Each structure stands twice: as structure tokens, then as C-alpha cells.
Structure 1
Amino acid sequence: MTIVKSGSAKYEGLGKSGKGHVSSESGALSDQPYGFNTRFEDGAGTNPEELIAAAHASCFTMALAFKLADAGHEDGTLETEAKVSLEKDSDGFSVTKSALHLKGNVPGLDQAKFEELAAEAKKGCPISKLLTCEITLETEFTG
């Protein structure tokens, strides 16, 4: 089974003076502005790293939710923040890290099992598999 989703971007003008817009098939993003000022300064809009962070956080959290359900848990709350690092290198820039910070509350589960399932979800999440950068995971478990 192959599932195909799409996104699109348009960039008018070149370099720092250029302005872009990004959209997603679902409409969650619709002509969202992006450009030099949204990526490297504090301009209003989005940037690729922010979108990768949102994709990684949502994919990982869903992967863990399914692992927990498969382990027999029916209730709980998971919150994940992903921080994606962009660093200058000899070829321009590279995404060097995606740091996941997970907060979880799953009644009837112990912390050791929570951390085990979270590590499995980190490894198996499709976005984790896509990224070639370092991926870290920090957990907070409140049972």
C-alpha cells in the first residue's frame, strides 16, 4: 500500500528579497508565507525547519499512541515538542538534530515500559526514518 500526500511551494524573487508561499493538500497550510525573514529572522510566517518539527512531533506522537494501544492501554495523554536545529556548514546549511521532548500520562503504565515504547516509537516513526540527523528523546512521565 502506498499513500501519497502533497505540499507545494512558490517563491517569487530570488535570494533574500524573494518571498514564498507554502501550501498543503489538506489545506492546513494555505499560501502560508515563508522566506529569508521567516527562516533566519523573526518574520511572520513559517519555515522548512518548523514544518519538519511539526511533522516529526506529530508522527512520533501518533506512533507512540498506537504502540500504547497495542500494549493494551486505552487512555492517556501525550504531548511532544520537537526542536529542529539548522546549522551552517561547508555546503550551506544542514539540519543537524531533531530533539523530541515528550510528556506522557498513561494510567496503569510504569515509567520503564513508557520509556521502552517511546524509544521504539522514535525508531519506527516514518519521519524519524526519513531524517538523517541526530534524533534525541527526553521523556517526562506522570503515570
Structure 2
Amino acid sequence: MHVPNYPYGVVTACGERAASSTGDAAKSKSHVRAWVINGGLVAQEVHVLLKQHAKDVVAKAASMMKGCRTYSDAGEAYRRLDRHAIVLPGTVAGAAGCFSNSGLVTCFAYLGRGRTVTQLATNGDDQEAAEWLMTRLIAAAEQRLVRIPA
């Protein structure tokens, strides 16, 4: 989610790597929220980008996650899980992946349409719990994104 090394409005993937332009970030519109469901943390960032198209940012995030074997966050090392059961909708651009450390699984998804990118994250005690949360979060985000002109 938000990385201190970047201004708000930057879509990040694989830890602290920027998937969207850092130059236009200050002018983009962003909304961030997080909450707890069934003991798992859920977070959502929505970015309305000034110049970039969501499909391009989502494609870059997908490429970055595919090449990302590990990343660090707050001193914790996470490794990418080779498989996940997250189903992405066909109505919007999408990418997803899950990472694990010794006691937590974190799944990320990127959905986009037009100039809007929704970055989602879920945490769970195991992969099944994190994916269960992500599946429900994706369904809700997709319903909002399909209303945006492509």
C-alpha cells in the first residue's frame, strides 16, 4: 500500500517499486482505506491517474509481481507463493499475486479501467484466508470499476 518513499498517488508493486508515474502522482486523486474482516486486514487504494491508462499500470504491476520473488516490508521478508486461486474478472484489467512470511500471507490485486487503478491487499493467517478475503474484495471493486468508461 502507500510507500513512504513515494508521494501519495503512486501505485506500487513488489514492495517499494513504482508501477505508475511518480512525476504525476501529486496531481492524481487517491483514496485509501483499510479495515478488519474475520481477523484479516483488508486495504484498498483507488488512484485516478492524470495521464496514464489503468491497463498500462496494471500490466506493469503484473510484470513486476511476476518477476518479484521476494520483498521486504517493515523489516519482514516476504516470498512470492507460486500459486494462488484468485480469479480476476474479465471486465477490467487485472493482476494478482500472494506473498508469505513466517506467520502471514498477503495477497495483492490490481484492477483498472480508464484512468482508475484500484490496488487491493488482504492479509490472513494462511493463503486460503487471504484469498477468501481477496475474492470478495475484487467482486466489490469490479462492480464500481465497470461503471467507468474504458
TM-score by length of 1: 0.33
Which has the greater radius of gyration? 1
TM-score under structure 2 length normalisation:
0.32
